[in-house]
Amino acid sequence: MDFALTPEQEDFRRMVRSWVEKECPKDVALELEKQEFQYPHDLFKKMADAGFHAIGVAEEYGGAGGTEVDQVLLIRELSRSLGGQAWIWGINAFAGAKSVGYYGTPEQKARFLPEIAAGTKKFAIAVTEPGGGTDLLGAMKTTAKKVDGGWVINGQKIWSTQAHVADYLLLLARSDKNVQKKTHGTTLFLVPTNSEGLETRQIPKLGMKNVGSCEVFLDDVFVPDDLVLGEPGKAWYMLLATLNNERIIMSALALGILDGVIEEALRYLKEREAFGKPLGQFQTLQHYIADMVIAQKSAELLVHNAAWKQSQGMDCGLEANMAKIVASEGACTAADRGIQMFGGMGYSLETQMQRYWRDARLYRIGPIANEMARNSIAEMVGLPRSF
């Protein structure tokens, strides 16, 4: 069994790392993230100029090709420096490129994929509602009513990342209430954010302060038929591939944060002295580092396995959930230990470690709470459904 990256993948990884060191090193990322509610448009454009938004888009639509494994390599290197700000690439990759590439009609692919690849259009996902997080379908009150030439959507969404700057929302709505199962009767729409009746509000957050997460309000928003994505009424079953891709990409982002934490911790332990010897000579701190590296390698294997399975068209729900849990908890624990290693300076907003900690804390909650991911894993291996 070969666990090595191909020479082309190694070259790609090195190229991305070199780009990161030049365009958005950690000190730049730290200052960018402080600019609350100021979306990093320049950074998004730099990613476009580097061709990163084209990764995962078929070449026939102006993309660079590439698989989910390439996506993982990219966002891991981005988040090593950027932390959660790397999500401005990730959200476009799964809400835009992956979703349109999977479910779009030939006309929709020809219309949207070249713009996604070029970085001239931004996408956001609008699925979660205020009444429930993981219970998407049970809490869903957003409705889509069929009218001549299209649909009229009413409702509210929450935690829609970059909705305030996006051109389109990948939005899930209930289009048929007369169904026996709540997984039936839902439809996906590509909703233009300049639609009459659509408004957004940014939510203040603990981390990723400049990457807006929004409430979205929809009041009689008209969406034409040609912006329905996939078959009406069957959105939930289509959306699973998108949600798995979201978990894989976010797992890789958390893994990149873990990489950054280890780098910062090792640098500090080698430079700092106490009681006449380097901090790195103290066994307790060595054990902290060892645990971080164990978590890093465990997450790496799971993330790459999940990405590879999805790239082969295989069911990857189990692997995506496992990768999400291990990577997010590894990053969170490592960043918390890193703050402890830094002592008083760990509590300072001038360090990278606190930024990593604030960003990593999200990934135990979203895009699915780790507790619910564990419930899903238990069900997948044959135990009764617990929710």
Q: Does 227 share its domain with 259?
A: no
Q: Average pLDDT, stretch 128-143?
A: 89
How many of the other CB atoms lie within 10 Å of CB of 365? 14
pLDDT digits (tens, 9 = 90+) for 6-34: 999 999 999 999 999 999 999 999 999 99
At 136, the pLDDT band (50, 70, 90 cuts) reads confident
pLDDT attached to residue 1: 66
**pLDDT of residue 129 exceeding 70:** yes
pLDDT attached to residue 35: 93
Q: Is residue 85 part of a domain?
A: yes
Q: Is residue 386 part of a domain?
A: no
Q: Is residue 344 part of a domain?
A: yes
Q: Which of 197, 215, 233 is the last residue of a domain?
A: 233
pLDDT attached to residue 137: 86
pLDDT attached to residue 238: 86
CA dihedral 38, 160, 351, 76 (to 10 degrees): -110
pLDDT digits (tens, 9 = 90+) for 346-380: 999 999 999 999 999 999 999 999 999 999 999 99
Question: For the domain that residue 367 is a member of, what is the CATH number?
Answer: 1.20.140.10
Tell me how many domains the chain contains.
3
pLDDT attached to residue 208: 93
Q: Does 116 share its domain with 129?
A: no
pLDDT attached to residue 319: 98
Q: Does 363 share its domain with 267?
A: yes
Q: Does 292 share its domain with 364?
A: yes
| The two structure tokens encoding residue 143 | 């409705």
At 105, the pLDDT band (50, 70, 90 cuts) reads very high
pLDDT digits (tens, 9 = 90+) for 305-336: 999 999 999 999 999 999 999 999 999 999 99
Question: For the domain that residue 73 is a member of, what is the CATH number?
Answer: 1.10.540.10
At 239, the pLDDT band (50, 70, 90 cuts) reads confident
Q: Which of 233, 249, 280 is the last residue of a domain?
A: 233
Alpha-carbon distance 304 to 384, whole Å?
A: 29
pLDDT attached to residue 139: 86
Q: Is residue 385 part of a domain?
A: no
**pLDDT of residue 2 exceeding 80:** no
Q: Does 63 share its domain with 189?
A: no
Q: Does 130 share its domain with 209?
A: yes
Q: Is residue 200 part of a domain?
A: yes
Q: Does 302 share its domain with 344?
A: yes
How many of the other CB atoms lie within 10 Å of CB of 219? 13
Q: Average pLDDT, stretch 214-231?
A: 98
pTM higher than 0.85: yes
Q: Which of 233, 267, 287 is the last residue of a domain?
A: 233
Q: Is residue 1 part of a domain?
A: no
Q: Does 159 share its domain with 90?
A: no
pLDDT digits (tens, 9 = 90+) for 161-170: 999 999 999 9
At 135, the pLDDT band (50, 70, 90 cuts) reads confident
Alpha-carbon distance 59 to 54, whole Å?
A: 9
**pLDDT of residue 241 exceeding 90:** no
Q: Is residue 192 part of a domain?
A: yes
Q: Which residues form the domain of 106?
A: 7-122
Q: Average pLDDT, stretch 162-181?
A: 96
CB 308 within 8 A of CB 68: yes
Q: Does 115 share its domain with 186?
A: no
- For 175, residues 6+ apart whose C-beta sits below 8 A from its C-beta are 143, 144, 145, 146, 151, 185, 186, 187, 232, 233
CB 174 within 8 A of CB 249: no
Q: Is residue 387 part of a domain?
A: no
Alpha-carbon distance 306 to 325, whole Å?
A: 12
- Is cis: bond before 106, omega within 30 of 0? no
Q: Does 163 share its domain with 94?
A: no
Question: For the domain that residue 146 is a member of, what is the CATH number?
Answer: 2.40.110.10
For the four alpha carbons of 333, 323, 43 and 216, in that order, the dihedral sign comes to: negative
> Mean of the per-residue pLDDT values for the chain?
96
| The two structure tokens encoding residue 4 | 């090595």
Q: Does 281 share its domain with 221?
A: no
Q: Does 34 share its domain with 167?
A: no
How many of the other CB atoms lie within 10 Å of CB of 170? 26
